[in-house]
Amino acid sequence: MQSEIPASLKFQPARRVLVTGAAGFLGSHLCDLLVHLGHDVIGVDSFITGSRENLTQLKDHRHFKLVQADLAESLPPDLATGRFDRIYHMASPASPVGYVRHQVNTLKVNSFATVWLLELAQRCKARILVASTSECYGDPLEHPQTESYWGHVNPVGMRSMYDESKRFMEAATMAYHRERHVDTRIVRIFNTYGPRLALDDGRVVPAFIKQSLTNAPMTVQGDGAQTRSLCYVDDEIRGLMLLMESEGYHLPINIGNPEEVTMLQLAHEIRELAGSTSTITHTPLPPDDPRQRCPNITLAKEKLNWQPTVPRREGLKTTINYYRKRLA
């Protein structure tokens, strides 16, 4: 881990933890850290966008068990009747390629599955963290985005199956907390990068890295002036776990890196770090693409004592080296 694990996480009692979306980018890194800290982890994934390769290192680990199931359809009986102390609901296609290809599944896993898992948490008296998204802010009119901002979302646009189902996820989670006293946490995840992102999932960092490492043209959408705030995966996972183990705060909290970078600047940076000869070309902007995305992390600092620590260039070097080996 490049991001230091806080003592408050190192010395937690061993728990039985359910992680949905365990074979995804964030889910697999989360499982790694939970197992490393001595927890017994049940991971579940449908593999519509997750990859078994992401869990190879845990295949025979005595503290990890993998269940293949599509939570958009139902909770498997052994999960529905199981006992858990913590539930991380990370399942959902999370890139435009994934959620546009699997629109109905995205809607179901963020709505039906969320409710079923909240019911499970209520029965087990488990604490549950649901992974929401900065996409709840849409194409924001407030910058940077605070958790109190209600967002500017197209409810029927090409991202709506993701944006609106995540907004439902948050509403359902608050309803179960307020009416049924379920111990809930909500994280709004901003753009995160690092090893294990699928190279073909449409997200900007793996796309630029693949193009640069193969010396293909690097495709910048629009004029490249749109910004994103990129958080290295180790920092993001540390934030998720600190939120899960925090006490007494149930409203959404942003976890992301407030350092903005334009997409054109990012393309130049990745090309330089990769030692690439790629040219940079421009393509049309996709529908409803946010012009700027940047978290206000005041709450995360105050409530969790969290902020990102991995510099972008360091995180990008590590990520580029990972994919250089993969492509070789």
In a domain, 208, yes or no: no
pLDDT score for 2: 58
Query: Within a domain: residue 107?
Result: yes
Whether 287 is in a domain gets the answer no
Q: Is the pTM of this model over 0.85?
A: yes
Contacts of 245 (CB under 8 A, 6+ apart): 8, 9, 12
Sheet holding 86-89, edge to edge: 64-68, 40-45, 16-20, 86-89, 127-133, 183-189, 253-255
Residues 302, 44: Cα–Cα separation, whole Å = 32
- Max distance between CA atoms of the chain, in angstroms, equals 58
- Quote the pLDDT of residue 287: 78
Is residue 289 included in any domain, yes or no? Answer: no
Nearest to 51 by CA among 185, 251, 198: 198
Question: Is 207 inside any structural domain?
Answer: no
State CA 233 to chain mean position distance: 9
Residue 84 sits in a domain whose CATH number is 3.40.50.720
Report how many domains make up the chain.
1
Report how far residue 78's alpha carbon sits from residue 251's, in angstroms, rounded to the nearest whole number.
Answer: 30
Q: Are 144 and 294 in contact (CB under 8 A)?
A: yes
Q: For the beta carbon of residue 324, count every other beta carbon within 10 angstroms.
A: 14
* Assigned domain for 1 exists: no
Crossing angle for the helix pair 233-244 and 25-36, to the nearest 10 degrees: 60
| Residue type at 248 in one-letter notation | G
Domain extent for 69? 14-193+232-257+295-309
66 close to 46: Cβ distance less than 8 angstroms: no
Q: Looking at 162, 176, 193, 232, which residue is catalytic?
A: 162
Is 162 in the active site?
A: yes
Tokens 């929401």 map to which residue? 132
What is the distance in angstroms between the CA of the first residue and the CA of the last residue of the chain? 24
Which of 92, 101, 241 has its CA nearest to residue 167? 92
CA dist 255 → 77, 132, 147, 176, 316 (Å)? 33, 10, 10, 22, 19
Consecutive H or E run containing 322: helix 312-327
CB neighbours of residue 14 within 10 Å:
11
pLDDT at residue 202 in the model:
83
Per-residue pLDDT of the chain (328 residues; tens, 9 = 90+): 456 788 889 888 999 999 999 999 999 999 999 999 999 999 999 999 999 999 999 999 999 999 999 999 999 998 999 999 999 999 999 988 999 999 999 999 999 999 999 999 999 999 999 999 999 999 999 999 999 999 999 999 999 999 999 999 999 999 999 999 999 999 999 999 999 999 888 889 999 999 999 999 999 999 999 999 999 999 999 999 999 999 999 999 999 999 999 999 999 999 999 999 999 999 998 877 778 889 999 999 999 999 999 999 999 999 999 999 998 8
Report yes or no on 147 lying in a domain.
Answer: yes
Tell me whether residue 305 is in a domain. yes
Q: Beta strands 227-229 and 260-262: pairing type?
A: antiparallel
